[in-house]
């Protein structure tokens, strides 16, 4: 009898232990389920937040692309306008210089030797029977020619900075060449000093700048500010240049 009671007691305690374990397992399962539901809710919230952020990023990218396109179009417009205005300014300058040069070259004997029939202001008057008393020739006046030469030099530099595909650039070069031809026909010549070696015997105004690209004591004219102008192989305007000196 005692043996049966002991067995029953053991079985009863074992049943209670199993029941307690089952309750604990169910509690753990419920806790895990709640945790999983929380994770699923958090994951859904994160996905929703991520979608919203991605949508905002796409919207910002579209706005940024629109701004870039706008600025690019505006920059192209400014660039085109600047080139157009530069071409117009150069064309007007060329025309004015040609007109001024052609108008005044008849009134000013640029070579200093006025001859009969070559002056537009002094010709033979109808009815005159006596030749005018010869006068000593006036000194050469090179002011206009020097201005024209300086303007030719400036326009050359502007055109060198323009792209080759610039509209009407070829026509401008042709106009500038005609102006240079008229300039040379009067006996004037601009001496190209760019890239030439500098020596103390040259008649010019120079300012010096050190350069690591040249050898020691090597001096090269790298910039012409004011060109050298000769009249019938005689210097009438000394050049102003920048000389790079090797160090």
Residue 35, pLDDT score:
83
Q: Are residues 89 and 50 in the same domain?
A: yes
Give the structural domain span for 182.
1-111+140-186
- If one counts every other C-beta atom within 10 angstroms of the C-beta of residue 151, the result is 19
182 and 194 inside one domain: no
Considering the domain architecture, whether residues 12 and 47 belong to the same structural domain is answered as yes
The 10 Å Cβ neighbour count of residue 110 is 21
- Residue 49 falls within a domain, yes or no? yes
Ranges of the chain whose pLDDT falls below 70: 1-3, 70-71, 73-87, 89, 91-92, 95-140
Same domain, 26 and 82: yes
Q: What is the pLDDT of residue 80?
A: 59
> Could you tell me where the beta strands, DSSP code E, fall in the chain?
188-191, 204-211, 219-226, 228-231, 234-237, 239-246
Q: Are residues 53 and 166 in the same domain?
A: yes
In a domain? residue 126: no
SS3 45: helix
Q: Is 214 within the bounds of a domain?
A: yes
5: in domain: yes
22-41 residue pLDDT tens: 888 888 888 888 888 888 88
Position 99 scores a pLDDT of 66
- Cα–Cα distance, 80 to 77 (Å, whole number): 5
Q: Could you tell me if 134 and 113 are in contact, meaning their C-beta atoms sit under 8 angstroms apart? A: no
Q: Which residues contact 86 (CB under 8 A, 6 or more apart)?
A: 158, 162
pLDDT at 73: 66
Same domain, 214 and 174: no
- Is 70 part of a structural domain of the chain? yes
- Is 154 inside any structural domain? yes
Count how many domains the chain has.
2
Q: How far is CA 64 from CA 57, 58, 67, 125, 173, in A?
A: 10, 10, 5, 78, 42
Is 171 found in the same domain as 77?
yes
Is 127 inside a domain boundary?
Answer: no
Residues 93 and 12 in one domain: yes
Shared-domain flag, residues 6 and 18: yes
pLDDT for 131 equals: 38
């Amino acid at each position: 009898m005692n043996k049966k009671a002991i067995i029953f007691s053991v079985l009863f305690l074992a049943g209670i232990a199993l029941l307690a374990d089952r309750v604990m397992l169910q509690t753990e399962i419920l806790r895990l389920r709640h945790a999983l539901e929380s994770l699923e809710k958090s994951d859904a919230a994160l996905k929703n937040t991520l979608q919203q952020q991605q949508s905002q990023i796409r919207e910002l990218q579209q706005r940024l692309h629109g701004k870039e396109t706008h600025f690019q179009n505006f920059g192209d417009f400014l660039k085109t306008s600047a080139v157009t205005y530069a071409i117009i300014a150069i064309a007007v300058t060329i025309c004015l210089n040609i007109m001024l040069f052609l108008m005044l070259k008849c009134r000013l004997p640029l070579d200093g030797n006025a001859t009969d029939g070559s002056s537009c202001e002094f010709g033979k008057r109808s009815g005159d029977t006596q030749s005018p008393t010869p006068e000593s020739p006036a000194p050469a006046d090179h002011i206009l020619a020097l201005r024209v030469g300086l303007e030719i030099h400036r326009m050359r530099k502007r055109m060198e900075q323009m792209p080759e595909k610039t509209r009407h650039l070829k026509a401008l070069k042709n106009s500038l060449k005609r102006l240079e031809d008229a300039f040379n026909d009067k006996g004037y010549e601009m001496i190209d000093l760019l890239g030439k070696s500098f020596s103390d015997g040259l008649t010019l105004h120079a300012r010096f700048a050190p350069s690591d690209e040249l050898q020691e004591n090597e001096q090269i004219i790298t910039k012409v500010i004011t060109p050298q102008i000769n009249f019938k192989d005689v210097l009438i305007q000394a050049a102003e240049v920048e000389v790079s000196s090797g160090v």
